[in-house]
Structure 1
Amino acid sequence: MSGHSVAAGSLVAADYLVFALLLVVSAAIGIFYAWVSRGQQNSRDFLTGGRRLTALPVSMSLTASFMSSTTLLANPVDVYTFGAIFALFSLSYILSIVVTSEVFLPVFYRLSIASTYEYLELRFNRATRLLGTALFMVQTILYTGIIIYGPALALSQVTHLDLWGGIISTGVVCTFYCTLGGLKAVVWTDVFQVGIMIAGYLSVIIMCMILKGGVATILSDSQQGGRINIWDFDLNPLRRHTFWTLTFGGGAAWTAVNGINQAQVQRYVSCKSITHARVALYINLIGLCFFLACSVLAGMCLYSFYKNCDPWSAGLVSNPDQLMAYLVMDIFTAFPGLPGLFFAAVYSGSLSTVSSSINALATVTIEDLVKPYTNMSEKHLTWLSKGMSVFYGVLCMAMAGLASLMGGIMQTTVTITGVLGGPLLGLFMLGIFCPFANSKGGLSGLMIGLLVAVGVCIGGLILPSPPYMTRPLPLTTEGCNFTTQGNSSWTATILPAGPSTVTTAPGHITGDILLAENWLPPSYLYFSLIGTVTAFTVGLFISLVTGGRKQRVESRLMIMKEDTTLYHMFRFFRGRVTRKTGNLDLTKKEERTGNTNPAFNHTEMDLKRRTIIS
């Protein structure tokens, strides 16, 4: 790479070949499942996989749809800018998976529902179900637009890959295999795409380690640059990332995704048993933590390479979300095919998320908006399901155009998920935990929770958090005119019109910040928690004052102690303890001698004698 200007690079034939193979194999899986299941599927089998899937492919599909292109492009940039405290998201993942496994999974699996929002009609009323469905559809279409547009923009500006070519190819291939193969095709393409994502991510991390002389150098550079800042227990809710915001704010946001989002629920209820579903969730947790570790390490690699010459501050890239693509074109210039592998990994993230969204949108449309109001035959419903897959594929591609108005990919996706998902999470928790919650309380709680969450979000957009709350770490361009000799050599060239030359250190307060002292927004990670708590508490209060205590709710719609793993663990350990102390033997002895409750036993025997005599 000697003498190479680290500007926008170009992909070669080998890169395009790798990229094309990704699209071809993904499409081929859809064709395969369409052929295998021809004439055998009804609409529910098409949309839910016939509830015959096993834990391993479902877990990989859950990971793939959760770990979108945001993971590969935006998460390392967050570590590069704000430090490795991002790793504490692992705690929110653990919290959300445990809550999902113990609370939501047993209820949804027992009801055998194809649409998550069907629960809202069973528990509350049809109006609540329709509002929940509408919120999910808006959230998913907006989110999917960002997932398609974000990586396409980042890659087009760094690699000269055509922007709309990337958007349309992603949308068309997703729509194709969703329409042909249904959920089974989505799950098995996700399995393939997870493999591509792992290969692409690890290729970048390993090459960075080779060029830098090992992981020790990367960790040392990150330590010196203040990037290893994992523990921060500041209770201030206005701070962007702390232990509390990442664990509990992030926990609420990801529980809204894992616990009640149709795209995720649809997968784990497609398992052939609840045990397979639980195992899938926990294998998925391992996958999430693995990708998070890769994100943090990739962010450190990014900092180690550009600690003396920040490409964004120098104007070499127009958006921080392009930094990973920029690094890939820098380190892989002499290795044809490897840039293509990474970009295939990025598009795998997009494909997996978009296909999940298309399938979930088609499902809720059929189950919530068509079936309750029509008497269509199964054949017509199956064809309509496929038509809905095409419709939503086109709609998501159209929404990608609006995504250009959004900010950074990572924060935007979490914000949208939180603002719309949080109030829904509060509503589902109200229904599952509170037997006296009624439809008036549920609907009111959802609407007020949504208004509060949206209001806080708009406030955050109008008056964003100042640097002394977000705490960006220092970045510099002081070393941009230099050549580094070592395992590789490269020359950086500063382009004009950079946004800044040196980023100020955290804690520096300017006059603009003083203007914002009257009101500051909470961390974007608390938007979901605010919506959840508001919807739950308002719903609880209104239910109590509108006579909710008089109503009776079917037990199958509530969480029961027998549903939880904790209950079965308690029974298991109690049995072990009682066996060791001999209490069980004592009980058996009492039963033999009739001493457990003599009055009851004698009365029962007298009744039996009288019955026989009569």
Structure 2
Amino acid sequence: MADGYSINTGQKRTFGILDYVLFSLMFCSSAAIGFYHAYKDRNKKKTEDFHLGGRKMHPIPVSLSLSVTFLSALMLLGTPSEIYMNGTMFYWIVVAMLIATAGAAHIFLPVFYRLNKTSCFQYLEIRFGKVTRTIASILFLIQTLVYMGFVLYAPSLAFEAVTGVSLWGCMFGTAAVCTLYTTLGGLKTVLWTDSLQFCIMIAGLLAVLIEGTKATGGFSNAWDIASDNQRIKFDDFSFDPKTRHSVWTVAIGGSFFWLRYLYGINQAQIQKACSLPTLRKAQVAMWLTFPGRVLIVTLTVLIGVVMFAFYSQCHPVKFGIVNKNDQLLPLFVLDTLGTVPGLSGVFIACVFSGGLSTISSGLNAMSAVLLEDFIKPFCCRSVVKKHGIFMSKALVVVIGVIQFGVAVLISRFSGLILQFSYSMYSITAGPIFGLFVAGMIFPWTNKYGAPIGFLASLAFMCWLGLGALIEKPSGYKPLSTYTSACNWTAVGKSPPVKTLAPIINGSTTTTEESILYDFYRMSYLWYTGLGMIICVGVSLLVSFLTGYMKPSAIDSRLMCPIFDIMFPFLPENILKPLRFGVVYDRNEKNMTKDDSTKYDVEQSLM
């Protein structure tokens, strides 16, 4: 890659001193927050203080942390590239976020909050037994490690594109700093560094949008250019699940993904919400995340529109300035912000802020799951009681080393990181999501149906995801890009030569497609919903065949009266059968009751 070259002149642009200073300040500030909380909490010995902030956190830092966690550099880099290559249909994801926020705050969060446990997978043991909890926890660890590898790789890719610094060196430095401050301060550090990083992300995105708009002659002009090239589109209402991004695919299919991935049953997010002293405050914090997420997504979409207008007649990948579409935004920053001292540094700090917030949350969450779901139940319970915080910190360090290795492997892949990371995460997200849905919504699910449904869903989704990855069925094509205005002489290259497909007997050659190709063409955004449906369906079938649970025998605190929440205006004679025989008291149906009491459900069932 011709690192740091202007698309038009071929002149090399690099980071200035001010850029490096501003970029470094972000890392130093994050580390300083970690040292501060390590010193402040040096006398605290409970693992609850490390993983849950002592359950005394304030809604503002929690909501800011929830807003940025798992949006990360993947969205900051991937969304503008997505809009550039495929248009604005992806913006319907804000509807999916709204649905997911409501579902998380009022369906899943109340159950976890009352459970009063550090790991969300402890619910599965209470509901279905230790086997189900263990296999789900293992899958979560693998899933999160892979996703964190993507998150570590993405900002390092951007930094390499802007500065030419080694990709592996960037990843190592980021992993080391993030592991350091997470180890020092635990969840409190994660929340406060995320709050700082939220502000940096907004500042960086605004800087790119403002300067990019100036460079394209105003936003209305950029919008017109993008519209003339079919980038502006919001009205694809196709019901075909093979449509990559339709209204239903993004808004409905995406809501399943975001409910699992970001809101409802994400261990890192549940830990943060449960760090608040009352359920009402936890729900308020959850709802406060929605405006922040919409703001970030809107800014990245608008940047994608402006970025396309800027490169509409000279696509940088075809021109050979960058190798991957995911490097388009860093190049755009060089061409628009590179002449203003410090702004490139602000942008790179913005991208790394997204990555750090996700990695730190993942490290803390994985440390909690390893401690609570594996070390405590199987060995060393007495040692954990005395040295739990030390063991938690040691686990963070070990996980940090492993995730660096995973990121190195991921750096060997190519393609749009946003779609690829979504696809890989969705393969495993659906089965895990299905377990919790089967447990909280359907009281008949028993200890045999849940693990069998989970494994059946996982096997099916692995087959679908890996089959689509290996076969790479045709059907989806990015929108057209052009190189008519590229200055090929400036970089010493020749324009590409167009070639025609070979023609045999007067027609273009075709290959016979497998009947599975249509299935493999399913949009990646439906993966989570499909996996959830398979898991719930098989779980219920096996449960009825092996002796289903009696709803009246289930502790109602493990269940969610979903129809009472969704349709509270319905009369009692309609709502009663919709509770499936589970007996709830008044307070359990009123999920927004401001009650700081946390019930230890596990102890009540023993």
Q: Which TM-score applies when normalising by structure 1?
A: 0.86
Is contact 1:182-1:359 (8 Å) kept? yes
**1:451 match:** 459
Give the letter for the 2:391 counterpart.
L
Q: Distance in 1 between matches of 2:512 and 2:10?
A: 39
Structure possessing the higher radius of gyration over alpha carbons:
1
Q: Please state how far the C-alpha of 1:570 moved relative to its aligned partner.
A: 7.4
The match for 1:325 among 327, 330, 339 is 330
Question: Measured at CA, do residues 497 and 107 of structure 1 come closer, stay the same or move farther in structure 2, by a change above 3 Å?
Answer: farther
Equivalences for 1:437-586 in 2 at 5 Å?
437-466=445-474, 469-481=475-487, 493=490, 496=493, 511=509, 515=513, 519-520=517-518, 521=520, 522-550=522-550, 552-560=553-561, 564=565, 567=568
Of 545-554 and 60-69, the range deviating more from structure 2: 545-554
Q: Give the aligned partner of residue 444 of structure 2.
A: 436
Q: Post-superposition shift, 1:481?
A: 2.9
Change (3 A) 1:496 1:231: same
2:355 to 350, 353, 357: 350
Deviations 1:61-104 (A, max 9, x none): 01111210012111100000000111011111111111111210
Q: CA separation of 1:386/1:332 partners in 2, compared to 1, >3 Å: closer, same or farther?
A: same
Is 1:64 aligned to residue 68 of structure 2? yes
Residue 584 of structure 2 is matched in structure 1 by none
User: d(CA) in 2 for partners of 1:311 and 1:502?
Assistant: 20
Could you tell me how far 1:513 is from its partner in structure 2? 7.0
Cα 1:7–1:553, aligned 2, differ >3 Å: closer, same or farther? Answer: farther
Partner in structure 1 of residue 433 of structure 2: 425
In 2, Cα distance between equivalents of 1:305 and 1:53:
44
Query: What is the CA-CA distance between 1:410 and the residue it aligns to?
Result: 0.4
**Are 1:289 and 2:325 counterparts?**
no
Is 1:128 the counterpart of 2:132 in the alignment? yes
| Residue 245 (str. 1) matches residue 243 (str. 2) | no
Unaligned runs of 5+ in 2: 502-506, 572-606
- 1:238-277 to structure 2, matched below 5 A, reads 238-257=242-261, 258-277=263-282
**What residue is the counterpart of 1:597 in the other structure?**
none
Q: CA deviation at 1:8?
A: 5.6
Q: Tell me by how many angstroms 1:108 deviates.
A: 0.3
Question: Following TM superposition, by how much is the alpha carbon of 1:379 offset from its aligned partner in structure 2, in angstroms?
Answer: 3.6
Which amino acid in structure 1 is aligned with residue 434 of structure 2? G
CA deviation after TM superposition for structure 1 residue 6, in Å: 4.1
Distance 1:387 1:108 in 2: 26
User: Secondary structure, in 3 states, of the residue corresponding to 1:237?
Assistant: coil
- Which amino acid in structure 2 is aligned with residue 339 of structure 1? S
The code of the aligned residue for 1:321 comes to: D
Separation of aligned partners in 1, 2:16 and 2:253: 43
Unmatched segments (≥5 aa) in structure 1: 483-491, 572-614
How has the CA–CA distance of structure 1 residues 308 and 146 changed in structure 2, closer, same or farther, with 3 Å as cutoff? same
Contact 2:424 2:465 in 1 (8 A): no
How many Å separate the matches in 2 of 1:83 and 1:512? 28
> 1:384 and 1:498, CA in 2 relative to 1: closer, same or farther beyond 3 A?
farther
> Which moved further from structure 2: 540-549 or 352-361?
540-549
Contact 1:313 1:502 in 2 (8 A): no
**Cα distance in 1 for residues equivalent to 2:442 and 2:6:** 67
Q: TM-score, normalised by structure 2?
A: 0.87
Q: Report the Cα offset of residue 261 of structure 1.
A: 1.4
- Select the residue among 385, 388, 401 that pairs with 2:395: 388
Matched ranges for 1:68-467 at <5 A: 68-257=72-261, 258-373=263-378, 374-407=381-414, 408-466=416-474
Partner of 1:36: 40
Asked whether the 8 Å contact 1:474–1:503 carries over to 2, the reply is no
Q: Higher mean Cα deviation, 436-445 or 393-402?
A: 393-402
Q: Distance in 1 between matches of 2:517 and 2:6?
A: 51
Once structures 1 and 2 are overlaid, which stretch shifts more, 1-10 or 118-127? 1-10
Report Cα offsets for 1:104-139 as digits up to 9, x if no partner. Answer: 011001111110100000100101000010010000
CA RMSD for the aligned pairs? 2.4
The residue matched to 2:319 in structure 1 has which SS? coil
What per-residue deviation string (whole Å, max 9, x for no partner) do you get for residues 28-61 of structure 1? 0001111111112411111111111122111110
Q: 2:104 & 2:322 partners in 1: Cα distance?
A: 40
Farther off after superposition, 149-158 or 314-323: 149-158
Number of residue pairs matched by the alignment? 555
Q: 1:212 to 1:543 in 2, by over 3 A?
A: same
User: Residue 489 of structure 1 corresponds to which residue in structure 2?
Assistant: none
